[in-house]
Amino acid sequence: MLTSSNLGPACLPDRPWRKTMAAMNSDPGYLQRARRIVEEVVAPHACDVDRGQFPRTAMRSLGAAGLLGLTSAEDVGGAGLGLRAAAEVVELVGGACGSTGMVLCMHYCGTAVIERHGPRAVRAAIAAGEHITTLAFSEAGSRSHFWAPVSTARAVPGDRIRLDAEKSWSTSAGQADSYVWSSQPVAAQELSTLWLVPANAPGLSVPRPFDGLGLRGNSSAPIRAENVLVDASAMLGLDGGGLDIMMTTVLPHFQVLSAACYVGLVDAAVTGAVAHASRARFAHIDQTLADLPTIRAFVARCIVKRDMARALLADTLAALESSRPDALLRVLEVKAAAAEVATEVTELAMRICGGAAYRKEVGVERQFRDAHAATVMSPTTDLLYDFIGKHVCGLPLL
């Protein structure tokens, strides 16, 4: 049975965070490259992306700058950096554009699985910045309970596997080059098996485009698989080993990187709100919004919340890097905290900026809409509270 104790850092076998500190110092250029792309590409395109355009140009630029292969191993041409570096880049990108930040976050999550279990050719393509991947876990049947796919994988003659599924959401659906895909096992009695599914596999379709409240450019559409045939070698890990990979490899990456994306978004919302409050004037009394004590108190609350989320993110990375006993607790907490902070701070930022926030030009309304995906991306905040409660009470998570 899966218990909180066997999900601890001791069973996080790849531990890419371990080598991060040393490796970061040998490649100080990655953050400069990320900043340049954010300034020149991500931020200028954020409004187009918010109108529903997938951030293709930004992803190409990130690929060309070696940032899509940031966490790929050096022996396949990647930068060989770890979770801390990825979190720094996702935070920067997410601060300028939530959609692009989340596309990058899911790419790094899929990459973590492919790096450990996938074929060398795909690993090399990711490292070269020529391949975008993502996770396709959520299903219409099991909804946010990603650990229990109801979709099927059946062995067919010719050492092939037939996949059938109604995936309910996948970031970069119809845009990525591959999906890290969950299904029920072929023969094992466990909950799931993972596959690397090429996006151009016949039988895969995106039944309808994404038209959401926020993260509108990240193409989080459903994906249907009808009689999709993949080689048996497309299996990632063991038949029935899906849950283990989800919990040991995907969970730390997704929790940390999505938290980083939302910390970036929160920081941008606070910065925008402070700039507006300092600029917007009451001409008849010659004061700015920032001269109002209530507005300053709202700003202070935003800053405190932002810094709490950022400190927890830093502590989670430190816990992972040193295999601290509380690493799993921190991993579970970090996205729950970032999601709560993101919705709370962006709502406060809307209040600080008043009616002006209702219009596009202040930028806060986009961050407010983007922030709300944090709570419902699985593990949702409610699921995380349940997991955290079980973990600290010594109960199995599932």
The C-alpha atoms of residue 4 and residue 8 are separated, in whole angstroms, by: 7
Query: Which listed residue (176, 250, 353, 373) binds ligand FAD by CB under 6 A?
Result: 373
289 binds ligand FAD (CB under 6 A): no
Query: Which listed residue (135, 245, 269, 299) binds ligand FAD by CB under 6 A?
Result: 135
The total of other beta-carbon atoms located within 10 Å of residue 333's CB is: 21
Contact 146, 179 (CB under 8 A): no
What amino acid occupies position 272? G
Q: Where are the beta strands (DSSP E) in 245-395?
A: 281-282, 287-288
- What would the two tokens of residue 75 be? 């022996």
List the interface residues with ligand FAD, window 86-115 (CB under 6 A). 106
Size of the site for ligand FAD (CB under 6 A): 24
Q: Is 110 exposed, middle or buried (0-12, 13-18, 19+ CB in 10 A)?
A: buried
CB of 18 to ligand FAD, least distance (A): 26
Contact 170, 145 (CB under 8 A): no
Name the segment binding ligand FAD (CB under 6 A); options: 33-41, 213-221, 232-240, 315-323.
Answer: 213-221
Contact 85, 255 (CB under 8 A): no
Query: Which listed residue (61, 133, 220, 249) binds ligand FAD by CB under 6 A?
Result: 220
CB of 218 to ligand FAD, least distance (A): 6
The C-alpha atoms of residue 261 and residue 4 are separated, in whole angstroms, by: 26
- What would the two tokens of residue 124 be? 């090399």
The C-alpha atoms of residue 59 and residue 218 are separated, in whole angstroms, by: 11
What dihedral angle (degrees, nearest 10) is formed by the CA atoms of 241, 247, 252, 253? Answer: 40
Query: Which listed residue (86, 246, 377, 397) binds ligand FAD by CB under 6 A?
Result: 377
Query: Which listed residue (171, 249, 258, 316) binds ligand FAD by CB under 6 A?
Result: 171
CB of 173 to ligand FAD, least distance (A): 8
Name the segment binding ligand FAD (CB under 6 A); options: 133-141, 200-208, 319-327, 331-339.
Answer: 133-141
Which lies closer to ligand FAD via its Cβ, residue 53 or residue 288? 53
Which lies closer to ligand FAD via its Cβ, residue 12 or residue 215? 215
CB of 378 to ligand FAD, least distance (A): 3
Query: Which listed residue (76, 122, 136, 236) binds ligand FAD by CB under 6 A?
Result: 136
Query: Which listed residue (64, 275, 308, 383) binds ligand FAD by CB under 6 A?
Result: 383
CB of 326 to ligand FAD, least distance (A): 23
The C-alpha atoms of residue 100 and residue 46 are separated, in whole angstroms, by: 8
315 binds ligand FAD (CB under 6 A): no
CB of 223 to ligand FAD, least distance (A): 9
183 binds ligand FAD (CB under 6 A): no
382 binds ligand FAD (CB under 6 A): yes
Per DSSP, the three-state class of 101 is helix
376 binds ligand FAD (CB under 6 A): yes
Contact 64, 108 (CB under 8 A): no
Name the segment binding ligand FAD (CB under 6 A); options: 123-131, 132-140, 225-233, 359-367.
Answer: 132-140
Three-class SS of 172-207: CCCCCCEEEEEECCCCCCCCCEEEEEECCCCCEECC
Its sign, for the CA torsion 150, 155, 159, 160, is negative
Which lies closer to ligand FAD via its Cβ, residue 59 or residue 295? 59
Backbone angles phi, psi at 189, to 5 degrees: -95, 5
List the interface residues with ligand FAD, window 138-167 (CB under 6 A). 138, 143-144
Name the segment binding ligand FAD (CB under 6 A); options: 255-263, 319-327, 343-351, 372-380.
Answer: 372-380
- What would the two tokens of residue 322 be? 């040193």
Residues at the interface with ligand FAD (CB under 6 A): 106, 134-138, 143-144, 168-171, 212, 215, 218, 220, 373, 376-378, 380, 382-383, 386
